[in-house]
């Protein structure tokens, strides 16, 4: 039995919008018509595509697998069929690491909105980014050298780190502090637990003690470092102001996380609105 294009496209949109009501409005249909299309598709497939969790519409695991297969071709088709005269703006979603939102993203987004006041934005943490980025989405995050990605990626900042601590924590040591002194200190780790091991290895030292203080992202790591919890490897580009103000102190010029960088990722069929935003951010 063949599966109608219309019902598959409706399902694709319902996954994107997470709402039958919004899908119906986008397609200029009634909500019951959209529901009927999806129920007919479920009957043909032999499994459920959605379920209700409170008032929220959730995708079943089987529905998610189908959606992942449909997303790229339908995004491409939508792009090909979009007309230059269509001046309606679809919300643009940005998934960004917390550490880059305030110092990097928001100032650039503010100037973009001043010149393009009709755009609608949704800003989410990077951790909530879906597996698939549609043509109206950007993802801003850190990457290690050699990482591969199914998306187009543009580097924006280096993510290489230096060891830092607060002046309060530094007062525990006799200056100047050495790499051996740091080996015995309270070491704060980000999501890459081997960062400190690699840093000490470059000094000819071996870190044997287990990880005790692990933070999910740089934002939490920086807060802990300022609060005198220990020494951390922090991206210099994101803490330069704290170094200049004496809030943090650099302990060595030896870089860590060699090859790490921050980048923007997007779908190769990104909408013209996303392309315009990307050019502004860069």
Sign of the dihedral defined by the CA atoms of residues 165, 166, 169, 173, in that order: positive
pTM for the full predicted model: 0.64
Give the CATH number of domain 92-158+261-281; options: 3.40.50.300, 3.40.190.10, 3.30.565.10, 1.10.760.10: 3.40.190.10
- Encoding tokens for residue 160? 């290489």
Q: How confident is residue 247, by pLDDT bands cut at 50, 70 and 90?
A: very high
Give the separation between CA 63 and CA 60, rounded to whole angstroms: 5
Give the separation between CA 93 and CA 70, rounded to whole angstroms: 20
Give the separation between CA 6 and CA 25, rounded to whole angstroms: 15
Average pLDDT over residues 233-261: 90
Which CATH superfamily does the domain covering 161-250 fall into? Periplasmic binding protein-like II (3.40.190.10)
41-97 pLDDT, tens per residue? 888 888 888 888 777 788 888 888 888 877 777 766 666 665 554 555 688 888 998
Q: What angle do CA 132, 79, 147 make, to 5 degrees?
A: 35
Average pLDDT over residues 221-248: 91
164-216 pLDDT, tens per residue? 999 999 998 888 888 888 888 888 887 777 888 888 888 888 888 776 777 77
Q: How confident is residue 139, by pLDDT bands cut at 50, 70 and 90?
A: very high
Where does CATH 3.40.190.10 sit in the chain?
Answer: 92-158+261-281, 161-250
DSSP, collapsed to helix, strand or coil, labels residue 20 as helix
């Amino acid at each position: 039995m063949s599966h109608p294009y219309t019902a598959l496209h409706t399902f694709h949109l319902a996954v994107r919008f997470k709402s039958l009501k919004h899908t119906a409005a986008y397609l200029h249909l009634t909500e019951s018509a959209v529901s009927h299309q999806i129920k007919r598709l479920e009957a043909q497939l032999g499994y459920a595509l959605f379920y209700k969790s409170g008032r929220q519409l959730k995708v079943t695991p089987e529905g998610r697998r189908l959606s992942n297969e449909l997303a790229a071709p339908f995004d491409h088709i939508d792009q090909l069929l979009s007309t230059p005269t269509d001046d309606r703006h679809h919300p643009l979603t940005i998934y960004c690491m917390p550490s880059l939102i305030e110092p990097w993203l928001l100032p650039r987004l503010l100037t973009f909105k001043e010149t393009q006041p009709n755009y609608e934005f949704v800003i989410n943490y990077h951790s909530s980014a879906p597996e698939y980025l549609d043509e109206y989405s950007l993802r801003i995050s850190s990457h290690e050298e050699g990482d591969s990605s199914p998306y187009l990626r543009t580097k924006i900042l280096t993510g290489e780190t230096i060891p830092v601590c607060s002046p309060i924590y530094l007062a525990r040591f006799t200056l100047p502090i050495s790499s051996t002194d740091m080996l015995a200190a309270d070491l704060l780790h980000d999501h890459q637990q081997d960062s400190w091991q690699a840093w000490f290895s470059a000094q000819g030292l071996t870190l044997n003690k287990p990880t005790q203080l692990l933070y999910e992202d740089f934002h939490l790591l920086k807060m802990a470092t300022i609060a005198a919890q220990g020494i951390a490897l922090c991206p210099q580009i994101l803490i330069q102001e704290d170094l200049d103000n004496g809030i943090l102190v650099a302990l060595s010029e030896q870089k860590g996380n060699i090859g790490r960088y921050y980048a923007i990722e997007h779908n190769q069929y990104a909408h013209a609105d996303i392309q315009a935003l990307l050019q502004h951010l860069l």
